[in-house]
Amino acid sequence: MLIATVLLGSLLAQADEGLFVAKPLTQPGQFTAGIEGPQCGKDGSIYAVNFAKDQTIGKIAPDGKGEVFVTLPGKSTGNGIVFDKQGRMYVADYVEHNVLRIDMKTKKIEVFAHEDSMAQPNDLAIAPNETLYASDPAWPQNSGQIWKIDTAGKVTKVADDMGTTNGIEVSPDGKLLYVNESAQRNVWVFDIKDDGTLANKRLFKEFPDHGFDGMRCDVAGNLYITRYGKGTVVVLSPDAKELHEIDVLGKQPSNLCFGGPDGRTVYVTEVEHTRLVQFRVDKPGLAWKRWQGAK
């Protein structure tokens, strides 16, 4: 009886808070159709690419007010974003085959890593030791690969002969790398070896329809995946069970991040209406938790 009461209380609390129910954060049209990213900074702002015009990175306050944070140089155009523990921003520049690094105080932009043999760096994940992993789809060939970028900016290919690699994430303990294939609708998981290379590729989850884009973990290792074309975010447990599926008010969610004062607000970049939407969840995001131990 006590257990039932506790469970009921938990469910009622979630209902009162409106968990897993999306609502708009920004107005339609504030971003271009290239809206992507996103990632939350230590100050609580949400950063997403292509705000107002292409080649920009927008800074969005939790109340939805936005501004251009930086404009990228030359032809550089951003896609996925992550932060390290020092608060530096890393941006996948898919046009110039770069990973850019941005100083958040001075707004200085530098090429942290470059690799000509990349089709593009599409999305980024960061491990607890601050090694970066980049997905690299070649869309015309429906193929892809994965790159490792160490803290000195050295680029190493760690997986090839894959489908259209897109969303990518490291598990909370730093031992697993997840990557999805948009066209093939597979989610794969690898073991991360001590040297940062990958081993033991295995199928984590296969879906019968619709594509994927970005994905991120919460602190419990649950994986949040945008279902591009279906208009949802699906939540998978570490053993690949479907826990939730959230309607994000548009058919083309491209990526997501966790933020808010307690790390339990998910922000989703949505292409159909070129806006950010948000919803509350029951556990903080992994990236948000790492900020708590940052200097």
The domain segmentation of the chain, as residue ranges, is 19-292
CA distance 227 to 255: 9
At 124-177, the pLDDT tens digits run 999 999 999 999 999 999 999 999 999 999 999 999 999 999 999 999 999 999
The pLDDT tens digits for 56-107 are: 999 999 999 999 999 999 999 999 999 999 999 999 999 999 999 999 999 9
> Alpha helix locations (H) across the chain?
2-17, 286-292
- Residue of 164 and 15 predicted with greater confidence: 164
Residues 266, 287: Cα–Cα separation, whole Å: 11
DSSP string, 135-197: EEEEGGGTEEEEEEE-TT--EEEEEEEES-EEEEEE-TTS-EEEEEETTTTEEEEEEEPTTS-
- Which homologous superfamily does the CATH classification assign to the domain defined by 19-292? TolB, C-terminal domain (2.120.10.30)
Query: Which letter, b or e, does each residue of 87-105 get, where b requires 16 or more Cβ atoms within 10 Å of its Cβ?
Result: ebbbbbbbebbbbbbbebe
pTM above 0.75, yes or no: yes
Tokens for 284, please give them. 């903080």
